[in-house]
Amino acid sequence: MLVDAWRGGLTADPIRGALLRTGKLGLELLVLSLACSPLNNIFGFSPALRVRRALGDYSFLYVCLHFAIFVGLDYGFDFMYLLPELIHPYALVGLIAGLLLIPLAITSFEPWPKRLGKNWKRLHSLVYVINILAGLHFILVVKQGVTGPYLWLILIVFLLVLRLPPIRRFLGRFFSRSE
Amino acid sequence: MDKIDPSEVTPKKLYLSRRQFIGSSSAIIAGAMALAACKGSPPATEATPPPYSGPTEDELGDPLTTYQDITHYNNYYEFSTDKGAVVDLARNFPTSPWSIEVSGLVNNPKTYVIDDLQKFKPEERIYRLRCVEAWSMVIPWIGFPLHRLLDEVQPTQEAKYVKFTSIYDPTDMPMQNSNFLPWPYVEGLRMDEAMHDLTLMVTGMYGGPLPKEDGAPVRLVVPWKYGFKGIKAIVKIELVDTQPVSLWMQSAPDEYGFYANVNPNVDHPRWSQATERRIGEVGRRMTLPFNGYEKEVASLYEGMDLRIYF
């Protein structure tokens, strides 16, 4: 991204370009982390589970960068400028999604998984909510007529539906039989 | 010539391995650069600006946006929703021959061939352009006030509004093949807005012709309104008695009104309009009422609630 910034590849509005790039990467990694479980449960592709946590952590990294560019570079830490923006749904939804990611990122490292035991899994199912919020955040910033962000939300909902026990069991059986 | 001690000469083997190192590392760098290039948008093409000797700042002392940025950051949905992609997609858009039909409630309907417009004596005007997406530029347009053209066609007493229509050319404008917006682009002005001296029919920029990505061969610029009011590639101007429904009013009536005056106190439903990013600057600046043209135009809207008439 830095190379791109230097070459002018972030468009004439590099701050917006950087916001879009980091936001998109954060979302992509988050959605990828959501795809790991279905890959394992339905297709029996277990290596996916090993990268799941790393995907989430890298997503968090990009979300942090995204937030830092928004508050620091774009608004220069000026609260007078930020306030009128923060009352808008897209900013609030994004902020909540980002804040919810913090406990997940912290507890993704040892010794938290062991220490929290069953609750760790419960806590980390927050990622379902965060994914929905992130998809919504993207939809809320674009003008009407731009369809890309809607596809992301559809993909997120699809990945969540795959988790519903009856569907998971049905698809699991279907694919293991055909193998 | 000095004699070189054999011990000072790099052994051939080492010398070769250094060569190899340079070779392989430059391959890696080239590969990395190629990867970087694939990942983002393609490298920006360099625009060659026409020779320009006009003023370098607007009346508020802010510098002009570069020719490169003005021609590589375009909201022109007929070509693409990607602002950086418009310049390449518009390259083959045919702008000649071109004519504009002026009709409706006028005593003297006329069709102008594009070169006819020169008789209205285009002049240089440096205007701020404030996009509804909260970014802005300072652009040295070349154009003539619309009232010069309207004076010639003579609107009748019944004419209350001016309706502008863009070209419908799905062969050369790829996005017009999709009906995600109700093509062609339509915009409108109230009669007094259209007659205002700031309202410009633009045929050039930066001392040269108007680039295709910026709306060639002729576009509208209304500097106290959001950029989307500045309809591009105009083929028809009609004088009408009812308020025209613009493309954006039709597709998102709660987001885009008929007036669309730049107003830091009336937010877009999705984001704030209080601040803006000036292209070429880091950070934000306050948005000015009527985009800094309050003195000239505020009187047009006296007594109107601009929250309702947004």
Q: Measured between CA atoms, how close is A139 to chain B, in angstroms?
A: 10
Domain contains B127: yes
Please tell me the predicted confidence (pLDDT) of residue A9.
63
Q: What is the CATH number of the domain that holds B113?
A: 3.90.420.10
The answer on pLDDT for B300 being more than 60 is yes
Q: What is the pLDDT of residue B2?
A: 52
Is the pLDDT at B52 greater than 50? The verdict is yes
Average pLDDT over residues A45-60: 87
Phi then psi dihedrals of residue B308, to 5 deg? -80, -45
What is the pLDDT, as a whole number, of residue B158? 97
List, for residues B169-204, the tens digit of each pLDDT value.
999 999 999 888 999 999 999 999 999 999 999 999
Asked if the model's pLDDT at residue B47 lies above 70, the reply is: no
Residues of A in contact with B45 (CB under 8 A): none
Residue A104: which of A133, A82, A138 has the closest Cα? A133
Q: Which residue does chain A place closest to B271, by CA atoms?
A: A88
Q: Work out the widest C-alpha separation in chain B, in whole angstroms.
A: 100
Structure tokens at A32: 């990828």
Cβ contact A12–B68 (<8 Å): yes
Question: Could you read off the pLDDT of B90-138 as tens digits, one per residue?
Answer: 999 999 999 999 999 999 999 999 999 999 999 999 999 999 999 999 9
pLDDT band of residue A117 (cuts 50, 70, 90) is confident
- Amino acid at residue number B291: N
Distance separating alpha carbons of residues A66 and A98, to the nearest angstrom: 10
When CB atoms are compared, the residue of A3, A140, A144 closest to B36 is A3
A/B interface, count of CB pairs below 8 Å: 90
CB B202 within 8 A of CB B143: yes
Give the domain range for residue B72: 6-301
Q: How many domains does chain B fold into? A: 1
Residue B26 pLDDT exceeds 60? no
B282 interfaces chain A, CB cutoff of 8 Å? yes
Residue B146 pLDDT > 80, yes or no? yes
Is B309 contained in some domain?
no
pLDDT band of residue A8 (cuts 50, 70, 90) is low
CA B280, CA B65: separation in Å to the nearest integer?
7
**Residue B168 CA neighbour count, 13 Å, CB half:** 13
On whether residue B145 sits in a domain, the answer given is: yes
Q: Does residue B230 form part of some domain? A: yes
- Domain coordinates in residue numbering, chain A: 13-177
Q: Is the pLDDT reported for residue B309 higher than 80?
A: yes
- Give me the interface pTM, i.e. the ipTM: 0.76
**Given an 8 Å threshold on Cβ–Cβ distance, is B277 in contact with A9?**
no
